[in-house]
Amino acid sequence: MQNIHVQAQKDHISSLCTASPIQALSELVWNALDADAFDVKIDIMQNPLGGIEAIRVADDGLGINALQADQHFGNLGGSWKRNKSRTLLSGRVLHGSKGKGRFKAFALGNHVEWRTTIQTENGLRSFVLTGKAEDPSLFTLQAIPTPGPAAGTEIMITDIRNSMGTLLDTPWAVQQMASNFALYLKAYPNVRIYFQGLLVNPVIVQRATSNYNLKSSEGSKAKLQIIEWKTRQGRSKVVFCNSDGFALHEVDAAVRPGSGFNFTAYLVSSRFAALHEENLLILDEIHPEVKAFLDAARDILRRHFRERREAITADLLSQWRNEGSYPFDGDPADEAESALRNRFDACAMAIRAYSDNFDNFTVLEKKLLFRLMREVLASDPTAATTMLAETLKMPLKKRRELLKT
C-alpha cells in the first residue's frame, strides 16, 4: 500500500470538496469523459429504509494512471491534462486541466474509492485509490492482484452526506444532467451518460430549441442557443461556453419567460475561452464586453419568449375553437364582449400554466370549465380573477397582471 499526499494546503483542498449533488456528479462525469469514456453510468443505491447507501459512477475510459499516481494524483494542478487540449484516443475536447474535479466526490460522501483498470505494456492492471473527507489531502493506493476485464474506472462513494435526497428524484436529476451536458452530447453523439439506467438524452427532455447570432461592438461573434425543457428547473440560466460547448461560467438569466417555460440559454463563442482564462467572465455585470453579450442575450430572450407566448396562445385558442370547447362563437359583438374574451383568454392560459393536468382534460371537461368560467367572469370579473389567482397560488406579480386584463 502506498500513501499519496496532495501537495497543497488542506484548507484549500477542503474548499474544493463542496458542491451541489448534481454539480459534484457532473464533475465526476467530466473526468470520465476526459479519460476517453464513451459510456458513463451513475447508480444511486438505496438502503432498506429508502435512504442513499452508496453512489457509483462507472466508465469505460482509459482509467487513472496509477503507475504515476504521485505525479498526477498527488499534485493539485498536476493533472496530465494541463498541457493537453484533446483526449488521448478519440480526440474529444478536454474539460478539466487542474486536477480539481476528483475532490467533488467528497461533496457526496465521506469515503471514496476509485477502482481503476489501465492497459500497460504487460497487460491490464487494476488499482484502488482510497480517500476520506476528513483528510482529503491523503490518498492510499493499492494494487489488485487480479485485474479487471477491461480498462475503466468505478468510483464508489459511501458514508453519504445529508441533503442528497434530490438524487432520488430520477426524472429531475436526468434533466439537470441533460442541461449540463446538452452541447457536449450534441457535439459527440456516440457518448452516452446513464442515470439510474436512464439515458441522459437532452432531446427527450427538450420542448424546443432555437438559435440566434450575436455580435459585440468590438466585432466578436457568438451564438445563442435556447433550449426549452419539458419539466421545471431550479432557475433559468445563461451559460457562457467555448466553441466546443463546454460551460465556462453561468449567470441567472434574469428574464421572466412566462408561466410554463423552463429554459437554459447557451452563449457559445471561442472568445469566451480567452475571457475565462483571464478570469473576466465572472465579472459578467461589470466587464464591458461580457456585459454587452449578456445584455444582448437577455434582449433576445425577452423577445423570443414574448413571441413564443403569442404563438402558443394563438395555437391553443385555435385548438379550443376547433374542438368546440371555446365558449365564444364568431367575432365579438361589441367592446364589452371583446373585453370579456380578453379576460377569459388570460384566465384560461393561467389555468393551463398552473395546472399540471390541464392538457389531460377531455373536451367535455374543458367545455364545462370554460363555460362556467365565462359566466363567472361576465358577472363579476374582479372577484373571479382574484379567486382564480388565489386558488392557483399565483405569484403576486402574476396576480396583478391577471387582474389588469
Please say if the pLDDT value at position 80 is more than 80. Answer: no
Per-residue model confidence as pLDDT tens digits over 265-296:
999 998 998 888 888 888 888 888 899 999 99
Question: Does the domain formed by 2-168 have CATH 3.40.50.11540?
Answer: no
For the segment 4-12, the average pLDDT, to the nearest whole number, is 66
> How many angstroms separate the CA atoms of 9 and 369, rounded?
65
Q: What is the mean pLDDT of residues 142-151?
A: 90
Where residue 157 falls among pLDDT bands split at 50, 70, 90? very high
Residue range 251-261, pLDDT digits in tens: 999 888 876 78
Domain boundaries, the chain: 2-168, 201-307, 324-404
β-strands 206-215, 52-59 pairing: unpaired
Band (pLDDT 50/70/90 cuts) for residue 72 is low
Cβ-count burial 77-99 (b if 16+ within 10 Å, e if not): ebbbbeeeeebeeeebbbbbbeb
**Does 202 or 367 have the greater pLDDT score?**
367
* DSSP per-residue codes, 77-123: T--GGGG-SB-TTT-PBP---SS-GGGGGGGTEEEEEEEEEEEETTE
Q: What pLDDT is stored for residue 356 in this prediction? A: 72
Q: List the beta bridge partners of residue 210.
A: 226
- The string of pLDDT tens digits covering residues 91-115 is 887 875 556 778 889 999 999 999 9
Is the model more confident about 200 or about 85?
200
Which single residue is written with the C-alpha cell 451513475? Answer: 42
Residues 53, 47: contact at Cβ < 8 Å? yes
Q: Residue 336: pLDDT above 50?
A: yes
Confidence of residue 328 (pLDDT cuts 50, 70, 90): very high
Q: Which residue has the higher pLDDT, 49 or 403?
A: 49
Q: Which residues make beta-bridge pairs with 108?
A: none
